[in-house]
Every structure is written in structure tokens, then in C-alpha cells.
Amino acid sequence: QVQLTQSGAEVKEPGASVKVSCKASGYSFTTSAVAWVRQAPGQGLEWMGWVSGYNGNTNYAQKFRGRITMTTDTSTTTAYMELGSLRSDDTAMYFCARRTYMIDAADYWGQGTLVTVSS
Amino acid sequence: QSALTQPASVSGSPGQSITIACTGAMSDVHGYNYVSWYQQHPGKAPKLIIYGVSNRPSGVSNRLSGSKSGNTASLTISGLQAEDEADYYCSSYTTTSTLEVFGTGTRVTV
């Protein structure tokens, strides 16, 4: 069965960086992309971008360009999302999701990683 | 890029049908058939319930259906059940800087 397992909660100070991992299993990693979505407390969902599991190509939402990096490690079928220059409004639950090229939608999701930015 | 517009809340009685609208623009909902809907229960990850405007993933109840007309996509839930109580988000591909955009979200109360 398809599973996406994310790393644990993080607490960071303003200005720091955070790197969240997403371990994929149960499908061929190179046939799909991994998308990243975040949700601030009590707020809606926000697309951050995605990274191809095939060749590592990325598409970032303009809001995050310059301080976000998405990568993959095909040997461990793991995707990573690193967000820098953290601010208090980056406090959110961060989700990874499999985005298949066949249906252009996020069909399986990780459990979420809570990132708290606080001094 | 602003989020797609959804009503903040919709309610219905068990067995009734409800429809959630998702309004966008030419650059997103109107221009592409890449509209998806996600269901999110409190404290849980979102779940894909509709993709490509009107397609249901395997295992999703046929009480859920999607459609689109012009700038507006819609999700209909028929035969409302207690388990349908959740937040619902539409999503669409967009030509603007975000590449993809979610709706503002709708809280469904049964």
C-alpha cells in the first residue's frame, strides 16, 4: 500500500531553516512527483510546490521562491523540503503528498509535520 | 494569486443533498479540467475525493460528485451522512505564479 511517512515536529527560531523529510513506499517513486502543502493553525491549505521523483525537477509557488528547496533521494525514496529565513507566520503543519502525472492530483498524503517558529 | 472562493460553511440534515461551489477565473477553473476536491477531517491529512473535475478515486463513495460550468466548479454530496462532516477544499491548476491554488475551504455540518 502507498505510504508517505514524514519526519517529526520541529521548533525553530526566526531566521533559521527547517528541513522536512517524506519517506515514500508502496509505489514506484520515479513515476510520480511529491507535492508539499502547508496549513497554518486554523487556516486553509496552501500549495508550496512539487518535485519530480523521476528527475528532481521542481516547481515552486512564487511566494516561496528564493527560500525554498525541494529535493529527492531516489536511493531511499525520500523527498525533502527545506524552508529558510523562517518567520513566525511559517508556523504550520507541513504535508507531503504523492502527485501522480496520470490524474494531476495529490492522491496520497503524509501525516504532516508541525513546524513551530518561535523565539 | 488569490485562493479560489468557497462558502465558509454549508449545512444539511442526514439524507439531504448539498452543493459546494468553488469560484475561480479564466486563469484557473475555467481554463483547465484539472479541478480536484479534498476532504479533511479535524486533525487529519486531506483526502482526495474528486480529480479531473468529476472523477472519483477508487474507494470514494458515489454519493460524492463533481462538475464544472465556466469559472465555477461544484461538489455535490447526496444522502448526507454524519461521516461527511468535515472541511472541503477545491483545487485547480493555474497559469499564475502559484501553479496550483486551493479554495478557501468549506466547513460542512450535518
CB contact under 8 A, A45 and B46: yes
Query: In the prediction, which pLDDT does B1 show?
Result: 53
Residues of B in contact with A59 (CB under 8 A): 99
Q: Which is more confident, A102 or A71? A: A71
The answer to which of A55-59, A99-103, B50-54 has the lowest mean pLDDT is A99-103
- Phi and psi, residue B20, nearest 5°: -110, 125
CB contact under 8 A, B45 and A107: no
Distances from the Cα of B26 to the Cα of B1, B74, B97, angstroms = 13, 16, 14
| pLDDT tens, N- to C-terminus, chain B (110 residues) | 578 999 999 999 999 999 999 998 777 777 788 899 999 999 999 999 999 999 999 999 999 999 999 999 999 999 999 999 999 999 998 887 768 899 999 999 99
Q: Which among A62, A63, A106 is the nearest to B48, CB-wise?
A: A106
- Chain A's closest residue to B2, CA to CA, is A46
Interface residues from chain B to A (CB-CB < 8 Å):
3, 34, 36, 38, 40, 45-48, 51-52, 55, 57, 89, 91, 93, 97-105
| For range A39-67, the mean pLDDT | 95
Residue A12: pLDDT band by 50, 70, 90 thresholds? very high
CB contact under 8 A, B45 and A44: no
Mutate to test the interface with A, among B48, B53, B58, B96 (most CBs of A within 10 A): B48
Distance from CA of B107 to the nearest CA of A (A): 11
Residues of A in contact with B86 (CB under 8 A): none
- Is the model's pLDDT at A62 over the cut of 70? yes
Query: In the prediction, which pLDDT does B45 show?
Result: 98
Query: In the prediction, which pLDDT does A43 show?
Result: 96
DSSP chain A: --EEEE---EEE-TT--EEEEEEEESS-GGGEEEEEEEE-TT--EEEEEEEETTT--EEE-GGGTTTEEEEEETTTTEEEEEE-S--GGG-EEEEEEEEETTTTEEEEE---EEEEE--
- Is the model's pLDDT at A102 over the cut of 90? no
Whether the CB-CB separation of B49 and B58 falls below 8 Å is answered with no
